[in-house]
Chain A
Amino acid sequence: MIKDITIGQYFPGDSVIHRLDPRVKIVLAILYIAFLFIIQTAAAYLFALAVTFILVRLTKIPLKMYLRGLKPLLFILIFTAFLNVFYSTGEPLVKFWIFTVTSEGIKNAIFMMLRIFMLVIATSMLTYTTSPIVLTGGLERLLSPLAKIKIPVHEFSMMMTIALRFIPTILEETDKIMNAQKARGADFETGGLIKRAKALAPILIPLFISAFRRADDLATAMECRCYTGSGEGRTHYVSYSMSSADYVSLLVLAAMIAAAVFLNFVTVMGF
């Protein structure tokens, strides 16, 4: 039922990747994406592909799960590939009607597809191996310096935390209300769009009323536990400490980026 929706798509586990510090993981994901945009040669793409597969294996989450994340992007993937194949400038291979296929085009198309493919895997890996709450916590710590320039980092993080806490509760409630309405003869499964939308009103209205009550209760409960709304002077129960695995992975990625930049430089200079 509706309860089966998994938000954030976290797969609990105990792999090396799972155990990395969330702050490091966020930084790594960003650096890896940067790396994917820097590389230009076939050899580099092959190397990146190998790294990606090794990382996937390390998470102990089946590749199938990662590929699922690509499905909604299939259209964009094919479309960009199509554009690249036919509209790149370069030595024409085949020519028919208004289309010209160039070897550059084919190369660009493959590179672009690989890049999106690895991009999706990298970001999926971050959410698959980090629980949403830890991810939020990590993000708050990473961005905490921004609080100095009046960016409400703590407030956003608290909003995320509460949203994540209440999603299961509200989904459960939706299920209950739907069942209650079904027991009274409501029909959500048949009829046209308008009829179905109308059938939703008796679910949404009680759901909204209850959500506002919950919000009110929760705000009071938080105040009662000395919450003042600002992150100032707060301490954190969950502490993150960087292990050697964290430092090593950061170093490896930094080295990869440096190598990629160096190789680009070498190519540009025409050696």
Chain B
Amino acid sequence: MSAVIEFQNVSFRYNEEKDILKNISLTIEKGDFVAVLGHNGSGKSTLAKHINAILLPSEGKVSVDGLDTSDDNNLAAIRRKAGMVFQNPDNQIIATVVEEDVAFALENLGVPREEMVRRVDESLNAVGMIEFKKHATTKLSGGQKQRIAIAGVIAMRPDIIVFDEPTAMLDPQGREDVVNITKKLNEQGITVIYITHYMEEAAQAKRVVVLNDGEILIDGTPHYVFQNAGLLTSVGLDVPQSTSLMFLLRNHGIKVPLAVLNEEECISVLTDLLNTKESINGSDFKG
């Protein structure tokens, strides 16, 4: 695997008061699925906006596929390579008709019309929204709008997609649809950076980076990161419920692995535990 995004000692400040990003170095491999966690104001969105040159580092360097984001000549290429989906579905839809919105980036890139027509259909198919092609964008549900926003990004055929809390304003069904689409895109080889505050969503990534106050607190596989439940809770993050349960059991002296991410894993651990009662050595455990 090769690096597709590189942050080298990146610091960023909006004004002189405070560094929002503090000397961040981070390498993201091609085809990876990286979840970014962190409490509100920890700098996640600021970090994300560095990936496609919406923000430029105050110090240090960001490169995308070898292109320096601070070089103006690279701007168009970088924005095409790295697409971005935001939190509020209403504020990122530009056109009144679905197909026209999906075509927006292509119009800007000067893609010929025949090619545009093909790519719009292809992108709408990829997010399962082709039957809404001619619909008014304002009449769609939050989840559907978000899928249109994703289609608008896919149409550029990007190598990287950055999702900045795409499910924060959605109902459970909309969340599930969006998460499934991101996973599918990643399987097709697109590098995914996925900012979220839902631990369950982060647990599905290949790598989790936790930001705290503009610094990387911990970085590794979901199993590794969620093992450090204590550290995460200390910076105000909740670990997934199943991991939380394991953490509590450990505190009661029951030996269970901490890196349990979903319900199935949790059930299997608990069944094993109940089958081998010897492993329970805590006297205060009452079933």
Contact = CB atoms under 8 A, between A and B. Distances in A.
A186 B138 CA distance: 29
Contact of B100 (A226, A234, A238): A238
A227 interface: yes
B37 interface: no
Contacts of B152: 225
A116 to B, nearest CB: 32
A237 B91 contact: no
B110 A225 contact: no
Contact of A234 (B80, B110, B137): B110
A217 B86 contact: yes
Nearest to B95: A165
B153 interface: yes
B96 interface: yes
A162 B94 contact: yes
Contacts of B225: none
Name the prevailing secondary structure of the B interface residues. Answer: helix
Contact of A235 (B92, B106, B120): B106
A225 B105 contact: yes
B108 interface: yes
A220 B46 CA distance: 12
Interface residues of A, number: 27
Given A169-B138, A225-B153, A236 B107 contact: yes
A235 B116 contact: yes
Interface string B85-109: 0101011111111011001111111
B261 interface: no
Contact of A226 (B49, B80, B117, B137): B80
B231 interface: no
Contacts of B208: none
B113 A237 contact: yes
Given A133-B97, A228-B108, A237-B107, A221 B113 contact: no
B101 to A, nearest CB: 9
Interface in A220-271: 220-228, 233-239
Contacts of A235: 106-107, 110-113, 116
Contacts of A181: none
B68 to A, nearest CB: 18
B79 A226 contact: yes
Contacts of A237: 99-100, 103, 106-107, 113, 116-117, 120
Interface string A198-214: 00000000000000011
A133 B96 contact: yes
A164 interface: yes
A116 B44 CA distance: 60
Nearest to A137: B100
A161 interface: yes
A224 B95 contact: no
B124 to A, nearest CB: 13
Given A165-B138, A225-B108, A235-B110, 9 more contacts: A133-B100, A161-B96, A165-B95, A165-B96, A221-B92, A221-B149, A226-B105, A234-B110, A237-B106
21 contacts: A133-B96, A133-B97, A165-B93, A165-B94, A169-B90, A218-B91, A220-B49, A220-B54, A221-B91, A223-B79, A224-B52, A224-B79, A225-B105, A226-B156, A227-B104, A234-B107, A234-B108, A235-B112, A235-B113, A235-B116, A237-B103
* Nearest 4 CB-CB pairings of A with B: A217-B91, A237-B103, A221-B92, A225-B105
